[in-house]
Each structure stands twice: as C-alpha cells, then as structure tokens.
Structure 1
C-alpha cells in the first residue's frame, strides 16, 4: 500500500498547488510542482528506465477521450490545452470534436443548460481541430485527430464526409468518435436513439474504417435507472458488434451514464465480460468522472471493477471526457485527470502498464515506435 499512498500524495500536492491560485485563465502555478517528469522518450522502445509506482504519478499517460471543442461558445485554444497536457504528463491524447453542436446563435455553452434547443450533427468542429493542429503542431505530445461528425442515423453521408476530411487533411485523421448510437442526455435536445434498422446501412463507412485501420468510439447507453430499463438499449450495441466483428470498436463509458447511476455492478461486469469474450476487437473506455462518482467511489464496488480490469487489462482505455469550454481552465482539467485516474491506484502492475501507461493504446493504434515502460520491481 506504500506505493499507492506515495503516488496519491504526489498528485495531491500538485492539485493543492493549483488550488492556491485563483481559478482564472492566465494565473500560473509553480512549474516545479506541476511539471511532470514524464516525456515521450520514456515511452519509446529504446527506453530502458522502469516506471516506479512509488514515486511517479499514478495518473494515466493517455487521454483517449478529450473533446477539444465545446457544444457551444468558445473553446480553450489548442496550444493552451497542449500546455495542460505537458504539465500533467498526459502525452498521448485523442482530439475529439463534438458530434452534436448547439446553434451558432445560441447563448449556451452546454446542452443541459438549454433543454428544447436542438443540437445537430456537424463536421465543422473536425475541420477546426485539424486546422488548429496544423497551425499549432504539438511539441512533446502525440495527438490523434478524430472524426466526430457522424450522424449514425443517416449513414449515407458518413463515407463522403470522411473522404472530404481526408482530401483536406491527408493522412491526419486516425480515429472516429465519439459518435452517438444512443445518448439519453441529449433526448431533450432532439436526439433520438439510432434505429436498429439503420445499423446494417453502416457497411460502407465501417468498411472504410477497417481499410484505414481506424477505431470507432461509440457512445451507447445501456439504459437508465427506471425499473426494468437498466439494459433497455443493449440490443443496439449488440447489433453493431454482430454485424461488424472485424472493426476496432471502443464502447465508451462501458455503457454507463448519468441516467444509469445504480446498475448492479455484478450484472454490469458480467454483461461487459460476455461482450469482450464474444468480440475480440471490442475495447472499453472508462472515461468520465460520472463512473467514479457513482461506482468507483464505493470501496466494495470499486473492488469488483478492479478485479475485472486486472483480468481484462488488455481491453481497457482511460480518459477524462473533458470538454474544452473556455469557461474552464488548467485546474479543472487537472482535477478531471486526478479523479478519473484514481482507479489506477488499485490496479496490479500488469494492468497499470496496459491501461495507465498506454500499452493498450499503442497496440490498438499500431504505434510501434512507442511502448509502455516496465514497472520497477
């Protein structure tokens, strides 16, 4: 337990230093406290240095789920986000847009603040992310551009728009997601569950993803806390997995959501294991602090998920699900990293290396130049 408490103290010190400053843009924090010693060289095949869990951060090195664009309003500039990542030692980041955006004339930054305001799929955020990426090439980071535009209910437009992005930015997009199969939080804003009849019509763009070896990250709620509805929408994801077994599919949040806060963890884990066993190309994303706040925070529940992650350690990806609204700053992101990384404290060394230190991500993405360091014995 010593290594865990030491790692926790190190990151707590970092966050304490952050909180001594006002929560506004422009304030700085002592770089000695906020600058992580981790760099890309530590994650190359040539690196011989082991990772000491007793002295080095337990926070993940990969944020596989980060929205660089908000639903509405202004975004944190990409070069500023890059600085956040470097300071926290988050070296590998998926650059998501937002699949559904608020109208340009809306005064809202977040869809929950504007019920009854339509959110509509748009490709504009993917273009903005690519343009910013080209203008501000990441220094000391590995960023992966993601196509976040698809409306899965209208699949006929997806492949042509993929081609449009690839024509404008050849060989730059390596991921698709987060795309919404069903997201109950958006129901008041005009979103509906994708009809199961539409899923067979995905064949063209899913074939293109296989050809380009691009994973697709799918938001697909399992259900909600109403009696008998915990797994209401499971047939949708099962249909996707049945029809596209050769695609690299990432099921974000393990199907959990703010609408499903009280699922029986034993049953939920059993459902996840069954899908992982049946579909070798499926992976789970454990991003979003909603999972920690409602599940991992409870010791007896956390222990069940730790056993699950240790057993299926090659099938899990970490992340924050941070949405980069200009109303947020470094402290907010640092807190999101800390909370969503706490589960790492309890993982065994093999799972910690695969999940927190990025081995799963490198393998999924075919990043042969990178490798997670071994854990010090």
Structure 2
C-alpha cells in the first residue's frame, strides 16, 4: 500500500492527503490520527448525534477510531448524565449502548473516519453471562463487532455507584469468552486501576492475574492503570511496572487515553521525557485515545481540546514511536486491518 501523509491544521480546518510522501513532523500537527478510546454514547442522558460526532473526528484529523459505547450505564429514570454527579445511583452493565452504536454505524457506514465497533456490555463480575451475549450480537449484527471494552476490572471512581472489583475467581471464569476473543483476534480494553495515592499498587495483582491466565489474548490496559485516585505515584515506579509486564507479556498493549495522564503525570517537570524514553523503548506497544464521552452537553471544541491534550506526549516521541502511536501503525496491527502508516520524513 502506498504511504499516505495526513496533514491537518492544528485548528482542524481540513485535511490534505499526499500520496508517495512521508510525514513531515516539522510541518504537520502532532495530534494523533487514531482515537482508539472514544465513547460515542454517554453514561446517561442524550448523546451527541452520530453524524455530528463523526464530523468532529473528520474536522480534527482523526481518521480511525474504536467506537465504544459505555457498558456501565445509569438508570434511564435517574436524570443523571455522569456517574460522579450521582453517588449512590447504581451503574450496571447493559447492552443498550452497543445496540444503538451498531444501528447508527450500520445505517451510516462511514468510510472516513473508519470506525471499529466495540462490545462494552461485558460484566466481568458475572462472566457466565458473556458468551450468550456475544452470541446475541453475532445474531443481530453478524461480523460487526471487532473490539471489546472498555470493561471494568476495577474502577475506583465507580465505587460510590455500587461497583466492586472482580475477584480472582471471576477472572478464572472468564476463560470461555476470552477464548472467543482470542480465536477471533479481538482486542479487549480493560480498565484496571493500579491503586490509590494511599496504596499505589493495591489492585495490581488483579491485572497480573489476568495477564497470567490469558497471555495469548490481545489485552489493552486502559490509561496504563492510572486514574484520578492515583495522582502522586513515582513515575519511575510506574514505568518500572509497565516495563516488567510488557517484557513478560508480548501481547499486552498500553492505552494512552485520558487527559489525566497529561495533567497528573506527563506535564510535570522532567516527567514527560521519562515517559517518552519509555515509549521509545517500546514503540510498538501503545495506542492513543481521548476517552471522550459523547454527552450532548459537549461540542467540537471540547473534543478538539481532549485530542490536543492527550496528543501532547507525541511531541516528545522519537520517530518510530510517533509512527506507531500518533500515525496509527500499532492500532492497525492490533486490529488486524490492512493499513500502512506513513514513514516519518528524515530530519533536514
């Protein structure tokens, strides 16, 4: 396939495709052309209309995205849009967002941006319900879903909404649905907090158990295990954990989505270069994303800001990691799609 250089103004004013060209980092924007972590449905309330949202992607220069619903939804009669605003209100797994996503996608079938539908209904605490759910998706939307997640192994932010971490016994019982994903080559994005400021690695054993039991699955670790509850972890300690697990589990991929990574870690003095050096050492093992949630009270400017903030780490990357992350090479490989990221132009 011919290499394509994708040029977009920082303000997202449009795009220019140049065949037989390399990507000139000195002239082109640093924002990622992939959004691998995009929630096209909100936790509750109205969503941004699908056609409007795909317009945001096109305008900002995003050409590929994984189309997450939100499996953990608020009750329709709660009046809540965001779970943090409604402590005590249960947030429970549901198929409804995935069905709306599939219907919207199949009606429009957009080619630019190119979207990958994701199954987000999976209740990791009740894995016995998952295989029949996948069967239903196969019946209703054959071949449409190419991703799984974001699903919650442990998410501390949801504790006030009756979420509980999955247990080692739950993880053992994932085997049937993990086999389905493995056989189909479907990646699964798992939200699994490392811990809190008080106990930075409290929940690390849950992800280690997952990786130990399912080393052949394409597991994507959302936000590298970081969260608002873990804002003060020593970056060297965090990077050390990531290195150890990447070395041990070759199919593990790190998800760089959510502005919390930039705001709480990458932006601190001296820290950005540490993470950039780490990603340069593992240039094929991370994918970008915004973690944007498409609630109707947001607009294009909010999306564009999320994309810019989550892409800032790209500026510090070497060319190989930049090509893998920002230009989509790692995402294409993980999803198994026939696309070629452009080469980065040699420095002049």
For the superposition of Structure 1 and Structure 2, which TM-score range results when normalised by the shorter chain? over 0.9
- 2:340 maps to 1:371: yes
Q: Which residue of 185, 188, 205 maps to 1:216? A: 188
Distance in 1 (CA, whole Å) between partners of 2:343 and 2:330 is 14
Q: Name 1:37's counterpart in structure 2.
A: 16
Q: Name 1:303's counterpart in structure 2.
A: 273
Report deviation, 1:361.
Answer: 0.6
**SS of alignment partner, residue 34 of structure 1:** coil
Distance in 1 (CA, whole Å) between partners of 2:135 and 2:53 is 28
Deviations, residues 108-156 of structure 1 (Å, cap 9, x unaligned): 1000000011111101110000000011221422100000010100000
- 2:149 maps to 1:177: yes
Is the CA contact 1:102–1:111 (under 8 Å) kept in the aligned structure 2? yes
- 2:55 maps to 1:86: no
Write out aligned runs for 1:1-377 (5 A): 11=10, 14=11, 34-37=13-16, 47-226=19-198, 229-368=199-338, 370-377=339-346
Distance in 2 (CA, whole Å) between partners of 1:263 and 1:214 is 32
Deviations, residues 266-322 of structure 1 (Å, cap 9, x unaligned): 000000000000000000001000110000111311111010011111000000000
Is the CA contact 1:37–1:89 (under 8 Å) kept in the aligned structure 2? no
Instruction: List gaps (5 residues or longer) in structure 1.
Output: 1-6, 15-32
Report deviation, 1:204.
Answer: 0.3
Distance in 2 (CA, whole Å) between partners of 1:286 and 1:148 is 19
Q: Name 2:4's counterpart in structure 1.
A: none
Is the CA contact 2:127–2:173 (under 8 Å) kept in the aligned structure 1? yes
Distance in 1 (CA, whole Å) between partners of 2:59 and 2:26 is 20
Is the CA contact 1:219–1:251 (under 8 Å) kept in the aligned structure 2? yes
Taking structure 1 as the reference length, the TM-score comes to 0.88
Distance in 2 (CA, whole Å) between partners of 1:36 and 1:310 is 28
- Cα RMSD after superposing both structures: 1.3
Deviations, residues 179-214 of structure 1 (Å, cap 9, x unaligned): 000000000000011112111100100000011110
Distance in 1 (CA, whole Å) between partners of 2:253 and 2:139 is 29
| Matched residue count | 340
Distance in 1 (CA, whole Å) between partners of 2:326 and 2:190 is 21
**SS of alignment partner, residue 16 of structure 2:** coil
Is the CA contact 2:71–2:98 (under 8 Å) kept in the aligned structure 1? no
Taking structure 2 as the reference length, the TM-score comes to 0.96
**SS of alignment partner, residue 297 of structure 2:** coil
**SS of alignment partner, residue 174 of structure 2:** helix
- Consecutive aligned runs of 4 or more in structure 1 exceeding 3 Å deviation: none
